[in-house]
């Protein structure tokens, strides 16, 4: 046994065994690191929860001491209510290391208890925070005569009128003896001992006003509110019309540029048919630039600011939109007919557009000089605004040049002679087979007839050799002739029968 053990010790680990040990150590390390990271994450999350609770608790203490119901983390640090994480007075999120100094903390009251509520909203400048106090508040009212309070204004809202500030004391404070009431801003401080204070402006005021109420007992309360007065009218600097002097087939883009200077800012735009800017409905928009699209017509542009002032000189801001053509051109056909003709026929296509006019100025013309009933035309026409129409039509031509016809044979006429070779004729008529039914012409055709020779009586004399059978009895006299013929002889019509002779074919005609 000792020898076997000694051999193993002398042999050492194989590569497979070493790899197995390394893999095992890696697994153990991964498990350990995962557990460590999870523990670290949980510790940081717990630290963040504790920090927020700490901030909210100290904010409640701050409200109890000052009466202020709104603050930020930075104020709590500077007033000594919470400790900073570094010498610069910064407080950090233990998870993300984000700076929390600008985060707002609201104070809520539940019966007699105050509770801080940490917020993700940020405001770094304390002067921008409206001071809320448990015992004191400020209400803002518009005034038309600097004496009478009018409409109440919500905090931070703009107005174009002077305002009266009203200090509102709670019941507890009303029961105390007031020593002084002071109104102050960044430009003035007045101890009036009045709970109302007039703020007037020539042009613009955008200032935080604070009221400080001091009791005979030496306790001081304060509240603040932003006063925003803007009596300056906005200005329309420029109005541009895209492609103002060009034809288009869509509404034209109109761009307006306006400014309210250092005032309340642009509050809305109107572009329409109404020129009274005090009655129109505005599209709310706080940008100095506004765009819309307009069809042909005359429009007026109005701009208002957030305080309710309207831009002056609206009459000069008249907008006239022209050269918008949304109607496609019309195909005009001339020369068509459904009446057949043997003559040439000319058909034309013209473009008609009563607004921007046609790009195609000349007519398209075709002359038909061969058999044609209909013909398909397919042309595109366009006006100067870019509207297009496809002129696709089977035009009526109805031209028949009689190049396709059939022959119609008439009846033969009478033979010009009864014997000795006469002639007879008939008419051949040509009718179109293209569909018009036209008579395209005719010709006469002749042929010989009665070619057998006429028999002569030998008695001489003139007259016709055309004979007719005569079945006269011997010695009788035919009513049509003078003289007599023997039975079986012929006579010449309208001539005396001196020329009587034997009937051809034995008078068997």
Largest CA distance in the chain: 190
Cα gap 501→456, rounded to integer Å: 7
pLDDT at 462: 39
Helices (H), 293-402: none
Ordered DSSP codes for 225-254: EEEEEE-PPPEEEEEEETTTTS-BSSPEEE
Cα gap 414→28, rounded to integer Å: 136
pLDDT at 308: 92
Judging by DSSP bridges, how do beta strands 252-259 and 266-272 pair with one another?
A: unpaired
Cα gap 193→434, rounded to integer Å: 114
CB atoms within 10 A of CB 178: 16
- CB crowding 119-143: b at 16 or more within 10 Å, else e: eeeebeeeeebebbbbbbbbebbbb
Secondary structure (H, E, C), 146-192:
CCCCCCEECCCCEECCEEEEEEEECHHHHCCCEEEEEEECCCCEEEC
* Dihedral angle of Cα 168, 173, 178, 183, to the nearest 10 degrees: -30
pLDDT at 458: 43
Cα gap 2→391, rounded to integer Å: 112
CB 426 within 8 A of CB 408: no
* Record: fold of 130-230: Immunoglobulin-like (2.60.40)
pLDDT at 420: 85
DSSP state for residue 404 in the 8-state scheme: S
pLDDT at 456: 55
Question: What pLDDT tens digit does each residue of the chain (509 aa) get?
Answer: 444 444 445 556 688 777 888 888 888 887 777 666 677 778 888 888 898 999 989 888 887 777 677 788 998 999 899 999 998 899 999 888 899 889 888 777 666 677 888 888 888 876 666 655 667 889 999 999 999 999 999 877 999 999 999 998 877 677 778 888 999 887 788 998 899 999 999 999 998 888 888 888 777 787 888 899 999 999 998 899 999 999 999 999 999 999 999 999 999 999 999 988 888 999 999 899 999 999 999 999 999 999 999 987 655 678 999 999 999 999 999 999 999 999 999 999 999 999 999 987 778 999 999 999 999 999 999 999 999 999 999 999 999 999 999 999 999 999 998 888 899 999 999 999 998 999 999 999 999 998 888 765 444 433 444 444 444 444 444 444 434 455 554 444 433 334 445 544 444 43
Domain 235-321 is of which CATH architecture? Sandwich (2.60)
pLDDT at 110: 65
pLDDT at 151: 94
Cα gap 123→128, rounded to integer Å: 7
Q: Which long-range contacts (CB under 8 A, 24 or more apart) does 180-189 make?
A: 180/212, 180/213, 180/214, 181/211, 181/212, 181/213, 181/214, 182/211, 182/212, 182/214, 183/209, 183/210, 183/211, 184/209, 184/210, 184/212, 185/209, 185/210, 185/227
- CA dist 390 to 74, 333, 378, 381, Å? 74, 13, 7, 6
pLDDT at 352: 93
From 461, 478, 471, 464, select the one nearest 503 (Cα to Cα).
Answer: 471
From 271, 203, 206, 201, select the one nearest 236 (Cα to Cα).
Answer: 271
CB atoms within 10 A of CB 286: 12
Q: Which 3 state secondary structure label does DSSP give 490?
A: strand
Give counts: helices (H), strands (E), the chain. Answer: 4, 30
Cα gap 79→62, rounded to integer Å: 9
pLDDT tens for residues 252-271? 999 999 999 999 999 999 99
Structure tokens at 352: 């008609």
CB atoms within 10 A of CB 393: 16
pLDDT at 20: 80
Cα gap 97→91, rounded to integer Å: 9
């Amino acid at each position: 046994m000792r020898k076997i053990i000694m051999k193993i010790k002398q042999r050492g680990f194989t590569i497979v065994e070493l790899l197995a040990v390394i893999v095992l150590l890696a697994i153990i390390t991964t498990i350990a690191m995962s557990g460590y990271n999870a523990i670290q994450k949980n510790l940081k999350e717990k630290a963040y929860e504790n920090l927020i609770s700490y901030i909210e608790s100290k904010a409640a203490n701050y409200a109890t001491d000052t009466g202020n119901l709104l603050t930020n983390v930075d104020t709590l640090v500077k007033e000594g209510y919470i400790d900073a994480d570094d010498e610069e007075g910064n407080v950090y999120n233990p998870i993300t290391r984000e700076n929390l100094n600008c985060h707002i903390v609201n104070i809520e009251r539940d019966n007699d208890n105050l509770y801080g509520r940490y917020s993700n909203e940020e405001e770094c400048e304390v002067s921008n925070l409206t001071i809320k106090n448990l015992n004191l508040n400020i209400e803002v009212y518009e005034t038309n005569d600097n004496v009478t309070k009018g409409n109440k204004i919500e905090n931070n809202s703009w107005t174009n009128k002077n305002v009266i500030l009203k200090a509102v004391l709670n019941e507890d404070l009303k029961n105390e003896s007031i020593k002084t009431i002071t109104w102050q801003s960044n430009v003035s401080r007045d101890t009036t001992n009045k709970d109302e204070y007039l703020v007037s402006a020539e042009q613009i005021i955008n200032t935080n006003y604070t009221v400080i109420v001091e009791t005979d007992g030496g306790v001081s309360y304060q509240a603040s509110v932003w006063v925003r007065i803007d009596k300056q009218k906005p200005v329309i600097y420029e109005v541009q019309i895209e492609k103002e002097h060009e034809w288009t087939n869509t509404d034209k883009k109109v761009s307006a540029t306006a400014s309210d200077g250092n005032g309340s800012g642009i509050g809305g735009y109107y572009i329409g048919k109404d020129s009274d800017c005090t009655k129109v409905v505005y599209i709310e928009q706080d940008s100095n630039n506004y765009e819309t699209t307009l069809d042909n017509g005359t429009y007026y542009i109005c701009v208002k600011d957030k305080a309710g002032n309207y831009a002056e000189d609206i009459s000069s801001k008249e907008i006239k939109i022209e050269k918008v053509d949304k109607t496609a051109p019309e195909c005009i056909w001339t020369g068509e007919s459904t009446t057949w003709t043997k003559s040439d026929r000319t058909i034309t296509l013209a473009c008609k557009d009563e607004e921007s006019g046609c790009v195609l100025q000349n007519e398209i013309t075709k002359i038909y000089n061969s058999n044609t009933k209909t013909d398909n035309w397919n042309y595109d026409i366009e006006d100067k605004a870019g509207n297009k129409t496809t002129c696709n039509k089977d035009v009526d031509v109805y031209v028949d040049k009689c190049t396709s016809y059939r022959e119609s044979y008439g009846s033969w006429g009478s033979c010009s002679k009864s014997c000795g070779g006469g002639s007879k004729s008939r008419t051949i008529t040509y009718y179109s087979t293209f569909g018009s039914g036209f008579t395209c012409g005719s010709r006469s055709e002749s042929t010989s007839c009665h070619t057998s020779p006429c028999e002569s009586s030998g008695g001489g004399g003139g007259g016709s050799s055309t004979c007719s059978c005569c079945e006269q009895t011997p010695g009788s006299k035919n009513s049509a002739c003078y003289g007599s013929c023997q039975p079986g002889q012929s006579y010449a019509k309208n001539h005396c029968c001196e020329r009587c002779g034997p009937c051809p074919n034995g008078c068997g005609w």
